[in-house]
Every structure is written in C-alpha cells, then in structure tokens.
A = this chain, B = another copy of it.
Amino acid sequence: MTLSIAHLGPAGTNTETAALAYAAHLTQTTHQEVLLCAYPNIAQTLHAVAYQEAQLAVVPVENSIGGSVAITLDSFWQLKGLQIQEALVLPIAHVLLSHGESLEQLQTVYSHPQALAQCQDWLERFLPSVRLRATNSTTEALQHLKLELTAGAIASHRAAELYNLPILAEDINDYPDNCTRFWVVGLQPRTSGTYLSLAFSMPANVPGALVKPLQTFARQEINMSRIESRPTKRSLGEYIFFIDLEANTANAGVCSALEELKDYTEDLKIFGNYNVLPLPK
C-alpha cells in the first residue's frame, strides 16, 4: 500500500525537502512506497490528515530565527486527533533568485513570511528600498520572476535547480545556524519516543496559575524543552500553552505528572510521544 504524505507545496519548498527526507527514511527502513501530496497552505495540510485525505503530513513547527509557526500550533489545537509521529530538524539555506542582472535592478522581493524574516538584516543591508511581498510558500514566490525582471524571490537551492532559475545571491540568511523543526503528523497515537508534546488552556489567570503545571514537571525531573503561548481567541489575555517535554508516557512519574496536570488545566490535549530523526545525509 502506498503511504500518502501531505506537505506545503508546490515542489521546491523547504517543507517538501523535509517530506522528501522523511520519505527516503521510510523507504530505507520499511521499504514502504510513498506518495507526496502538495497543499497550498499549512492549515489545509493538517486538515488533510484530520479528515483522512492523506495518512501523514509534514509541517514546520519552529525556526531558530523566525520562531514558532503560529498556524501549525493553532491547527493542532483546533483539529481533533492529530498525533505527532516523528520530529525532523533541517538546516535552512536561502538564496535570492531573479532573472534580473544585478541587485540594483530589483524593486520587489517575494517569499514566505518566515523566509523574509530570516533574511531581514541582509535585505535591509543590500536591498534597503525594495518592497517585500509575502507569499503562501517560497515556491509560490517564483511565479513573479517570469513576469517581472525587477522581481526577486527568496527560496531554496533545490527550487533554483528544479525550476532552472538563476541565483543572484547566495548565503543570505542573517544567521548561519538557521534550522527548522518539522513534525510528521498522523492519527495513530505513538507511545514510544523521548519527546512528548501537549497543550492546555487554564481556568483562571491568578498568581502562580502557570507555575503549578510547570512545578508538576519539575518535581518529576522532567525537562521542558519548549513553552509557547497562543491566544485562545476568546478574549485578550487568555492563552493556550504548548509544551514540549523530554518524557515518555510509559514512565510512571510522567503518567502521574500528566494526571496531576488535569487538576490545573481547563482543557488538556496530548499530542503523543515521538523521536527526533537523525539528519538525512
């Protein structure tokens, strides 16, 4: 049976590179046949799994420069039954593509908002007066190149090769250590793995309200590797907290911490245990 993997497309996005890396890993370890399915945005990619159009999805969670991908977290909270299967960390290298002959010619630069944010200092230094325009994906930005000689697009090396587009500038990331963490998402709950992700809302905002859940983890010596807040969208000042733990639900201490957590939270969602896959060569 062929396994379908949804991802943000079209071909050439960094998420597609992550999906290809995961597909290669699957083929190598399980000899499973894999079909990649491109979706126009991240929300639709996760919808595809929740409504069983695709079996898995690969979505970006956070970048070391741009931070969290809000739509991924919001969709995880809104949709039912999504479970993390694996995590994957990929180095990100941006290039500037254009049919123009020099930087001086450029008037507009298109890319995904995360890519624009990750090259913001470079853009301010070398292209201080260009207009920046956000697109749904780095690949979508390339559509503008054939129409406008004064347009540039920030995308990956792979996109340059795939669409045969000239590179005007390389290594335009503001920070050399630019990585994105992706989640592989499905509907099967996983119980093995060194990471555990969850999210909760809280009944009231009183002194120490957030301390209690965090103390629960600290008492069991569970390391919290990340905390992120997103608005509940009900009222300004009400949040959902997304937490990544180094923990496994097979451990009794972890189970007791999760049980205790129910007392301090209003709504609690467990997104499952998973491992971080080694970087593809």
Contacts and interface: CB of A to CB of B under 8 A. Distances in A.
A227 interface: yes
Interface stretch (A22-30, A60-68, A150-158): A60-68
Interface stretch (A49-57, A96-104, A228-236, A263-271): A228-236
A20 interface: no
B205 A211 contact: no
Contacts of A236: 62-64, 89, 177, 179, 181
Interface in A130-145: 132-136
A115 to B, nearest CB: 12
A227 B242 CA distance: 12
Contacts of A235: 64, 177
Interface residues of A, number: 52
Given A218-B211, A223-B206, A229-B226, A67 B70 contact: yes
Contact of A223 (B174, B205, B215): B205
A229 B228 CA distance: 6
A209 to B, nearest CB: 8
Contacts of A68: 229
A221 interface: yes
18 contacts: A43-B120, A63-B236, A64-B237, A133-B134, A133-B135, A134-B135, A174-B233, A177-B236, A206-B223, A207-B222, A207-B223, A207-B224, A208-B214, A210-B214, A211-B215, A214-B214, A225-B237, A226-B229
Q: Which 9 A-B pairs have the closest CB atoms?
A: A134-B134, A208-B218, A64-B236, A211-B218, A207-B223, A179-B236, A207-B221, A211-B214, A67-B231
